[in-house]
Amino acid sequence: MGHVERAARFVADPERTRWHDEALWHVRTRRDAAARLVPDWEDLREQAAAIKRHALGRLPELWQAFETNASRAGTIVHWARDAREHNEIVYRLLQERGIRRVVKSKSMLTEECGLNPHLGKRGIEIVDTDLGERIVQLRREAPSHIVMPAIHLRRREIGELFEREMGGPKGIDDPEALTALARRDLRARFLAAEAGLTGVNFAVAETGGFVVVTNEGNADLGTALPDLHIASVGLEKILPKQGDLAPFLRLLARSATGQAMTAYTSHFRGPRPPSPAAPPDRPGSDGRRDPELHIVIVDNGRSRLLGTPAFREALACIRCGACLNTCPVYRRSGGHSYEATIPGPIGSVLETARDSRTHAELPFACSLCGSCSEVCPVRIPLHRQLLAFRESISSDDPHRRLRRWGLDLLGRVMLRPAHYERLGRWGRAFARRLPGTWLEGLLGPWTRHRSLPTLPSRSFRELHRERVKARAAREDGR
């Protein structure tokens, strides 16, 4: 099933389509209001884009510096070429320590690598602790948005889920009551966890530290209680200096949700000191293991994208989700219609770059309105990249020659008004004799979701000429 069919399933529920569209547009307007309050907003975007350009041009050097400084601080650094290596490293770290229960804060990279099923199959319980992620995990489905993973669900549906999975009361749909239920359920899992996994928003070469931002504080709790913290980071997430964080932290929250700052900005550098408060008999801890911090640096196709000048800017993405919130196609077709880890405009670029065969349809799920490029805090020219993908995908089209020949012919005809008019007259007369469905079939999938207007018997030019003639006759007769 392609994007068009999956989108059709989403829009078959007009009520859901309407509030999904409205909810995301509301976030977009909050982002606009927050951006307007920062007088140097455009300078900040330019600064962030320049830092990313600079960093992407020096990745090997920056990661080497990061490794040296992180190791000095006691962090153990691992390198993974692809998703398989990443999952094996994480599994080995857990297995060697006999760990069976893990909590995870939101990380699109671990989604991309398929870490949850990998660990689940090997008998390790992995619990997503971000509320939205937990909801989609319990429903056994993928997040539909990179910042608001359960935005496609009604409160009532979440209430039914919690009733089933957490023993909540019947008919519950009050957000506060739902959050309280989830908190109660998660608290027990935090306390029982033997390891905490997180993603990384920004790694800093100068210090060997990294930053994780959340709105729920789940990354802090998930890494403060267990003795093992494993962080997974994509190759593109490095910044040269600690001072470079400032523009990104100012841009990220405002672009994502319209907040001035995310509720929790946690800085990690080396393992935390052993907690004197941890009782030796706390579930999940033997009370003797020294805290450990591991970071897994993952390539998984990023260096290939880095070597493609037309698309490398996509690696500057800070996963704020602003391009999804503003995209008219995403808002009305839902995140699952993309069937990709990252949906929306940035997903269409990254996923197509990763696997252009599987995701060949995604660059065409775009109106080319340019709104995504307009809001992107790091100025990624998303719509241009999607257009470039269309060109490269179309160059493999077996009918390309025929199309080009047809367009050349049309171009010649349109340059000669008399030919154009004659062809229009013949074409109209011919098409009016055919049943409408035949013509729609001839034009292919383009017409599947569009209805053709009834063809007029006369062209605009003919009507216009007749009117001019009639007016002249009236004036002569006066």
Distance CA 143, CA 108 (A): 9
**Judged by CB under 6 A, which of 211, 353, 380, 386 binds ligand SF4?**
380
Q: Write the CA distances from 71 to 68, 266, 269, 271, integer angstroms.
A: 5, 19, 10, 10
Q: Write the CA distances from 46 to 42, 53, 372, integer angstroms.
A: 6, 10, 16
- The helix or strand, by DSSP H or E, that contains position 268, with its residue range, turns out to be strand 264-268
* Residue 92 contacts residue 85 (beta carbons within 8 Å): no
Q: How far is the CB of 380 from ligand SF4 (least distance, A)?
A: 5
**Judged by CB under 6 A, which of 321, 334, 343, 363 binds ligand SF4?**
321
Considering only the stretches 98-106, 180-188, 296-304, 316-324, report the one whose residues sit in contact with ligand SF4 under the rule CB under 6 A. Answer: 316-324
Distance CA 415, CA 338 (A): 40
Q: How far is the CB of 322 from ligand SF4 (least distance, A)?
A: 4
- Nearer to ligand SF4 among residue 191 and residue 249 (C-beta): 249
Q: Write the CA distances from 402 to 344, 367, 423, 430, integer angstroms.
A: 32, 25, 19, 22
**Judged by CB under 6 A, which of 55, 90, 136, 318 binds ligand SF4?**
318
- Nearer to ligand SF4 among residue 297 and residue 316 (C-beta): 316
Q: Dihedral angle at the C-alpha atoms of 159, 165, 167, 172, nearest 10 degrees?
A: 0
* Residue 115 contacts residue 126 (beta carbons within 8 Å): yes
**Judged by CB under 6 A, which of 152, 294, 319, 359 binds ligand SF4?**
319
- Nearer to ligand SF4 among residue 234 and residue 377 (C-beta): 377
Considering only the stretches 59-67, 69-77, 319-327, 411-419, report the one whose residues sit in contact with ligand SF4 under the rule CB under 6 A. Answer: 319-327
Considering only the stretches 44-52, 235-243, 376-384, 450-458, report the one whose residues sit in contact with ligand SF4 under the rule CB under 6 A. Answer: 376-384
49 binds ligand SF4 (CB under 6 A): no
The footprint of ligand SF4 on residues 237-296 (CB under 6 A) is: 255
DSSP state of 198: E
Considering only the stretches 56-64, 360-368, 369-377, 449-457, report the one whose residues sit in contact with ligand SF4 under the rule CB under 6 A. Answer: 369-377
322 binds ligand SF4 (CB under 6 A): yes
Q: Which residues contact 438 (CB under 8 A, 6 or more apart)?
A: none
At which residue do the structure tokens 């909590």 appear?
Answer: 103
27 binds ligand SF4 (CB under 6 A): no
48 binds ligand SF4 (CB under 6 A): no
**Judged by CB under 6 A, which of 320, 340, 365, 386 binds ligand SF4?**
320
- Nearer to ligand SF4 among residue 152 and residue 229 (C-beta): 152
- Nearer to ligand SF4 among residue 245 and residue 293 (C-beta): 245
Q: Can you spell out the DSSP letters for 399-443?
A: THHHHHHHHHHHHHHHHSHHHHHHHHHHHHHHHHHS-HHHHHHHH
x/- contact string, 146-175, with ligand SF4 (CB under 6 A)?
Answer: ------------------------------
- Nearer to ligand SF4 among residue 150 and residue 350 (C-beta): 350
**Judged by CB under 6 A, which of 148, 323, 340, 365 binds ligand SF4?**
323
At which residue do the structure tokens 């510096």 appear?
Answer: 65
* Residue 266 contacts residue 224 (beta carbons within 8 Å): no
The footprint of ligand SF4 on residues 342-361 (CB under 6 A) is: 346
Q: How far is the CB of 227 from ligand SF4 (least distance, A)?
A: 34
Distance CA 27, CA 322 (A): 8
* Residue 6 contacts residue 339 (beta carbons within 8 Å): yes
Considering only the stretches 273-281, 317-325, 426-434, 444-452, report the one whose residues sit in contact with ligand SF4 under the rule CB under 6 A. Answer: 317-325
317 binds ligand SF4 (CB under 6 A): yes
Distance CA 351, CA 118 (A): 21
**The token pair that represents 196 in the structure block:** 């905490």
* Residue 207 contacts residue 72 (beta carbons within 8 Å): no
108 binds ligand SF4 (CB under 6 A): no
Task: Give residues in contact with ligand SF4 (CB under 6 A).
Answer: 255, 317-323, 346, 375-378, 380, 382
